[in-house]
A and B are shown apart, each in its own frame.
Chain A
């Protein structure tokens, strides 16, 4: 069992866990659709996006594990921590639902991810800057695809429009974490490690508004009640089930060296 020792968890480690865990959990959500996607092309796209996110998660978590200095690696952080030690955004752990839910979740995340990574390429921490530069190229493709789907479903048939709007309305209460920031985000900004969280929020909103308008969807209010807490380990019940599936094998056979 991995217990993240709070005393050794510097703001930088906490921040890296947020980056890595969000990529990991969304990657796992994509991977859950393996063999279940609505079309072959979408299956390949979902798996490729998931793979990109797993690769990014590994890069962030490897760095976090090195800074922890307890001899762990990225796999240890991914497979041996419990839900309360995960620092991912709440939106990425929400269920796949129908295709509108899946693409709506991906879009709201991608729109934030691209601007965040863009800002992180300017990080004063060279390791973060290089992982971000690599990830940004991938996330740009992810956003392109997810926004195309939101537009296609929103501006599609009556049925697809209704479902896309419903997905948006359901997911919206988890977007507060994309625009609000806490002392860790602020500390990272002040250290020159992360971009200005207010600029990030402004850019996320601009991208979301541009795409939703094109999609003929109604943007819910920014001032509605928002669920928060993922970034400090307070998760919705969905994360536990996701981790149980993801972690079952390595926890059952902790000493396995060949898979």
Chain B
């Protein structure tokens, strides 16, 4: 055993803090035949997220890449949360949709890095969330300090009021927090920033 690290006064603090903001904003598609990839993307545009069916997997920003590798269609998908129980279902739905659209043997790859961020939600996706009654993420994903940090103002998706309050950091799924509107008194889900 090495000695314990109990040296509270020792000023050792020199590893760089990581930045939680994803820097990968490269759009799709990236490689291969432009026409074909647009067609594939159009197919995926119709595949709904199983937990928030009003947005597609493309609008959610979890389809990270569409490419042809040695004649095989490869779609890279990133999970929203490590333990998201919908991950396998989403991959299966993407596979089924592509097969039904005439791509016989697509490979669906899971990609962890860069980690998914709500910054990748498309504008159309945000608008659909709001119309569905889920407040879209406010601002950009960033690390927030623990104490004394105010919650962002989350406008009520039903009446637009900014007089809302957070009920719980976690809502009906891992990606949402639970809020309540003090004007129309309705509870609603907030798609939290990640």
- A residues near B (Cβ < 8 Å) are 27, 41-42, 44-45, 48-56, 58-59, 118-119, 121-122, 126, 129-131, 133-138, 140-141, 143-145, 147-148, 151, 176, 179-183, 185-186, 195-203, 205, 207, 210-211, 214, 222-223
Cβ contacts B79-95/A at 8 Å (1 or 0 each): 10111110000000000
What residues of chain B lie closer than 8 Å to A202, measured between beta carbons? 5, 7-8, 10, 12-13
| Given A41-B178, A51-B81, CB of A183 within 8 Å of CB of B2 | yes
- B residues near A (Cβ < 8 Å) are 1-2, 4-8, 10, 12-18, 20, 79, 81-85, 112-117, 141, 143-144, 146-147, 167-174, 178, 192, 194
What residues of chain A lie closer than 8 Å to B117, measured between beta carbons? 137
Complex: A105 Cα to B15 Cα, angstroms: 26
Complex: A145 Cα to B144 Cα, angstroms: 12
Asked if A55 and B84 make an inter-chain contact with CB atoms under 8 angstroms apart, the answer reads yes
| Given A179-B4, A202-B13, A210-B146, CB of A144 within 8 Å of CB of B82 | no
Asked if A122 and B82 make an inter-chain contact with CB atoms under 8 angstroms apart, the answer reads no
What residues of chain B lie closer than 8 Å to A121, measured between beta carbons? 18
What residues of chain A lie closer than 8 Å to B171, measured between beta carbons? 44
Q: How far is the CB of B62 from chain A (nearest CB, A)?
A: 13
CB contacts between A and B, total, < 8 Å: 145
Asked if A48 and B174 make an inter-chain contact with CB atoms under 8 angstroms apart, the answer reads yes
Minimum CB distance partner of B78 in chain A: A134
- Which residue, of A50, A137, A180, has the highest number of chain B Cβ atoms within 10 A? A137
Minimum CB distance partner of B175 in chain A: A48
Asked if A182 and B13 make an inter-chain contact with CB atoms under 8 angstroms apart, the answer reads no
| Given A134-B112, A145-B170, CB of A186 within 8 Å of CB of B144 | no
Can you identify 5 A-B contacts, CB atoms within 8 angstroms? A45-B169, A55-B81, A133-B112, A138-B82, A179-B5
Q: How far is the CB of A205 from chain B (nearest CB, A)?
A: 6
| Given A48-B174, A55-B83, A199-B14, CB of A211 within 8 Å of CB of B147 | yes
Asked if B18 and A180 make an inter-chain contact with CB atoms under 8 angstroms apart, the answer reads no
Complex: A181 Cα to B15 Cα, angstroms: 18
Q: How far is the CB of A239 from chain B (nearest CB, A)?
A: 21
Q: How far is the CB of A187 from chain B (nearest CB, A)?
A: 10
Which residue of the partner chain, among A133, A145, A205, contacts B18 with CB atoms under 8 Å?
A133
Asked if A130 and B170 make an inter-chain contact with CB atoms under 8 angstroms apart, the answer reads no
| Given A130-B115, A144-B146, A201-B5, CB of A53 within 8 Å of CB of B18 | no
Asked if A140 and B20 make an inter-chain contact with CB atoms under 8 angstroms apart, the answer reads yes
Q: How far is the CB of A120 from chain B (nearest CB, A)?
A: 9
Asked if B115 and A182 make an inter-chain contact with CB atoms under 8 angstroms apart, the answer reads no
Minimum CB distance partner of A56 in chain B: B82
What residues of chain A lie closer than 8 Å to B113, measured between beta carbons? 126, 129-130, 133-134
Complex: A53 Cα to B20 Cα, angstroms: 19
Asked if B2 and A186 make an inter-chain contact with CB atoms under 8 angstroms apart, the answer reads yes
Minimum CB distance partner of A118 in chain B: B18
| Given A179-B6, A205-B8, A211-B146, CB of A138 within 8 Å of CB of B1 | no
| Given A181-B2, A197-B5, CB of A144 within 8 Å of CB of B169 | yes
Minimum CB distance partner of B192 in chain A: A141
Asked if A44 and B168 make an inter-chain contact with CB atoms under 8 angstroms apart, the answer reads yes
Q: How far is the CB of B172 from chain A (nearest CB, A)?
A: 7
| Given A51-B85, A133-B18, A207-B146, CB of A196 within 8 Å of CB of B12 | yes
Known: A133-B114, A198-B12. 5 other contacts (CB 8 A): A118-B15, A140-B144, A145-B169, A211-B146, A222-B6
